[in-house]
Structure 1
Amino acid sequence: MSDVVYDVVVVGAGVEGSAAAYYLAKRGKKTLLLEQFPLPHSRGSSHGQSRITRKAYQQDFYTEMMHEATDVWRQLEKEAGWEVFSQTGFIAIGKYKGNYLDNNASSLQRNNARFEYLAPQDFRRRYPMLRYPDDYSCVADPEGGILRADKALLAYQAMFQKYGGRLIDGAKVTNIRRGNIVTLETPNASYRGRSVIICPGPWASHILRPLGVKLPLKTMRITVMYWKERDNDRHTPSKLHPFYDHGVRGCRGHDVYGFPSEEYPGHVKICLHYGPEIDAEFRDQADDKWAIDLMKEYVREHFPGLEPSPSIVETCIYTNTPDEHPVLDYIPGSRNIVIGVGFSGHGFKLSPVVGKVLGQLACGEKPSYGLNPFRIDRFPLQASL
């Protein structure tokens, strides 16, 4: 065992853990970041070339957080020297004057964010590549856009190390021993920290249950699909903004999200915001044919400028809570072990603020944002100590 005692040890070098480590190292804290897999890898939730970012949320607390998150993304890309955030704009799609669009507009207005609430005829005029019922429209968020996910993760990790942090990959934490100084065991070495932040992604249950923490988490495999644009079609959606379609008809009430042609030339990324439940260790054993079939119907109905079958299929993992809000809190019985879990498929954009508040908790400080929506005790029977 090393004699070194870190101020904070962060477990998990996905986007949330890397953001927390970056925040702490930038503050001058002696910080260790441990990752179970050799980096880079594509086995969790943070890989890939793109994620949506937006201020358009139904909940005020997310819109409020996204003001600072957007500023930090801009600062991070300046520090790293490469693009992380492309401000293309974003649209939330739903029924005109329905709860979803009204709530987005209200939250944006209350938080002094720019937006447009389009009437249905303006929605159809501005987005001729889409085909929706006459009572559908959108809330346009001009400050949203695309995060370059792989580049963003690399930026966090590179700047973390530039500020003096230590990153060790291929170091799976097999045991955590509580105490005033927390000890973390891996197959090759043990490490010690005054505080620990655990951001295990889809491996949350594996690492938390030995600590007596049981959360109602559902790990799902998401089928990431890319659809080829038809040549010379007037409906080609090349100029489409990133979008989120709330509870579209024909997808069993599940939401859909998508991006313009960015990652693969001539291909639009459109995915079901849902998938089969899995164990992260066996994600490729899940059957996702039903998800692909649902999306074929969706694309055929709403995107006439795309081929109705995906030509590229990849995978990602969500770790969902019942209310789709993450847990950002201390584990029961320990004021020096903090967890960030259950981001439910929308945590990447929030990571600058998530990393900050997790770091503040680990330092024993009052967080910059109210964390009541993210408390661990909102779920019953979460601990069995």
Structure 2
Amino acid sequence: MSAAELYDFIVIGAGVQGSFTAYQLATRNKKTLLLEQFTLPHTRGSSHGQTRLIRKAYEQDFYTQMMNECYELWAKLERETGATLYRRTGLLVMGPESSQGYLGFKKSLEKNKTPMVVLTPENFNQHIPNVILADGDGAFVDTTAGVLYADRALKVVQGQFQKLGGVIKDQEKVTDIKPGPIVTVTTSAGVYQAKGVVITAGPWAKTLLAHVGIQLPLQVVRINVCYWKEKIADTYHVKKRFPCFLLTEGDEAKSHIYGLPSNEYPGLMKICYHSGTETDPDQRDKLTDKSDVDILQRYIARHLPGLIPQPAVVESCMYTVTPDHHFVLDCHPAHGNIVIGAGFSGHGFKFGPMVGKLLCELSLGEVPSYDLSPFRISRFQTNIKSSL
């Protein structure tokens, strides 16, 4: 290979995590190639769609603390590009008042001094109309939370990467990765070499990691992304200051139910169940399971009287889930110039700028900005087959 074809870094997967990683590497003047198997933009992975929820409300302190800087990084990208990527709406968190999940969210915000407003059953409807709080449920608002404009964010960060000299090649599926001091990446259209590689392949991470001798306990699930029609227009609209919401658990649900105010589709509110059905990422549209939709219908009928309890639009998304629902951010145990970002478990989009920064730091051999022990591969040590 000629020197012109040798990159400093190749990033595999142009979703939100890969795009921000490539951008961060380019800001460090690293010659970087971003590879994507589908035509950009696409709806096949986990980063598409117009909106995502951004919040500091988490049960784990380390996420809340990372989000403090993450908000700053999103704002920095807005300033650099002039694009609006975030709209503050607040996040209404509800759940059984004495339950572990609900109390975990509340205590983490209190501990980290995150601005919040605690609601009571008596004043709830003064602040939050058109929602029926379940008996025994508590409620508070993370006032920093809001909506991220996901498609726009992805386009903007990829554009910034290219302005810095980064190269994006889509419609190139990676078919092989050969580790070594110089890593060789073979795609459906060519062969590339780099001093380092970052694998951020979302639902296809497990397949790609097999090429470098690692088997991680990653489960791919298909999520039904549901939109529900308002009975009266703008009842739950972002312009009417209706917040995003999160139900931690309850009689209707064993996993989170979350919602975003109507915005992307006029008159439709996005409400989803944070769980899905295991799938092959290349066969996701063959699944017909609608048990999550049934759960949502029951919840909406009881608690959101301003919505028609039948989904008006159902789209698909995929989560790549780890057993503990925490990310994988680490170097390959045998090849330090291969870095892995995977298993974002359906809550990783908001962390995109921070994940990009951390994976960049790992790639450059720097001390990461945060303690990455919750995200290390070693927590799955018995599930690793490092055969290389």
TM-score, normalising length: structure 1: 0.96
2:24 maps to 23
2:74 corresponding residue in structure 1: 73
Alignment match, 1:63: 64
> Is residue 208 of structure 1 aligned with residue 209 of structure 2?
yes
| SS of residue paired to 2:378 | helix
Q: Is the 8 A contact 2:42 2:48 kept in 1?
A: yes
Q: Which structure dedicates a bigger proportion of its chain to strand?
A: 2
Match of 1:8 in 2: 9
Listed one character per residue, the Cα deviations across residues 201-235 of structure 1 (whole Å, up to 9, x for unaligned) are 001111111222111111111101111101279xx
Counterparts in 2 of 1:76-87, with a 5 A limit?
Answer: 76-87=77-88
Who is 1:187 aligned against? Answer: 188
**Contact preservation (8 Å) 1:57, 1:108:** yes
1:174 aligned onto 2:166: no
Judged with a 3 Å threshold, the aligned counterparts in structure 2 of structure 1 residues 277 and 2 are, in CA distance, closer, same or farther, namely farther
Answering whether residue 234 of structure 2 is matched by residue 245 of structure 1, we say: no
Letter in 1 for 2:60: Q
* Aligned ranges 1:233-312 → 2 under 5 Å: 236-238=235-237, 239-251=241-253, 253-312=254-313
Over residues 74-94 of structure 1, what are the superposed CA-to-partner deviations in whole Å (9 max), with x where a residue is unaligned? 111222222111111112211
CA distance in 2, matches of 1:190, 1:305: 55
CA distance in 2, matches of 1:108, 1:232: 33
> Counterparts of 1:2 and 1:64 in 2: how far apart (Å)?
44
> Partners in 1 of 2:28 and 2:195 — Cα distance?
16
Asked if the contact 1:93/1:245 (under 8 Å) is kept, the reply is: yes
After superposition, the C-alpha distances for 1:262-320 in whole angstroms (9 at most, x for unaligned) are 11111111111111110000000112222222211111111111001011111111000
Preserved contact between residue 325 and residue 373 of structure 1 (Cα < 8 Å): yes
Instruction: Write the distance in 2 (CA, Å) between the matches of 1:317 and 1:186.
Output: 23
The CA deviation at 1:120 is 2.8
Give the counterpart letter for 1:273 in structure 2: H
Q: Distance in 2 between the 1:123 and 1:258 partners?
A: 18
Unaligned runs of 5+ in 2: none
CA-to-aligned-CA distance 1:314-348 (integer Å, 9 cap, x gap):
11110000100011001221100000000000000
Taking the aligned partners of 2:123 and 2:102, their CA distance within structure 1 comes to 15
Using the TM superposition, give the Cα deviation of residue 165 of structure 1 relative to its aligned residue in structure 2, in angstroms. Answer: 1.0
1:54 matched residue in structure 2: 55
Contact kept, 8 Å, 1:183 with 1:192, in 2: the verdict is yes
Q: Quick check: 117-126 or 171-180, which moved more?
A: 117-126
Paired with 1:118 and 1:101, the residues of 2 have a C-alpha distance of 13
Counterpart AA for 1:237:
Y
Answer yes or no: is the 8 Å Cα contact 1:171–1:188 preserved in 2: yes
1:139 Cα deviation (Å)? 2.4
Task: Determine if contact 2:121/2:133 at 8 Å carries over to the other structure.
Answer: no
**Residue deviations 1:161-181, cap 9 Å, x none?**
111111111111111111111
- The answer to whether structure 1 residue 343 and structure 2 residue 344 are counterparts is yes
TM-score by length of 2: 0.95
Cα–Cα, structure 1 residues 7 and 255, in superposed 2: closer, same or farther, change >3 Å?
A: same
- 1:2 to partner: Cα distance: 4.9
- CA RMSD of superposed structures (Å): 1.5
* Alignment-derived partner of residue 135 in structure 2: 134
Residue range with higher mean Cα deviation, 12-21 or 122-131: 122-131
Cα 1:13/1:232, change in 2 over 3 Å: closer
Q: CA offset at residue 237 of structure 1? A: 2.7
Q: 1:101, CA displacement in angstroms?
A: 3.0
Question: Given that residues 220 and 279 in structure 2 are in contact (C-alpha distance below 8 angstroms), is that contact kept between their aligned partners in structure 1?
Answer: yes
C-alpha distance in structure 2 between counterparts of 1:2 and 1:222, whole Å: 44
Tell me which residue corresponds to 1:226: 227
Structure 2: which amino acid aligns with 1:383?
A: K
Q: Deviations over 1:121-174 (max 9, x none)?
A: 233331121112232122211111000000000111001111111111111111
Counterpart AA for 2:168: L
Q: Which amino acid aligns with 2:118?
A: Y
Match status 1:122 vs 2:123: yes
Instruction: Tell me the residue number matched to 2:333.
Output: 332
Contact (CA 8 Å) 1:2, 1:190: kept in 2 or not? no
CA contact (8 A) 1:94 1:246 kept: yes
- SS for the counterpart of 1:82 is coil
Give the share of equivalent positions with the same residue, in percent: 47
| Residue deviations 1:46-85 (CA, integer Å, cap 9, x gap) | 0000000001111110011001110111111222222111
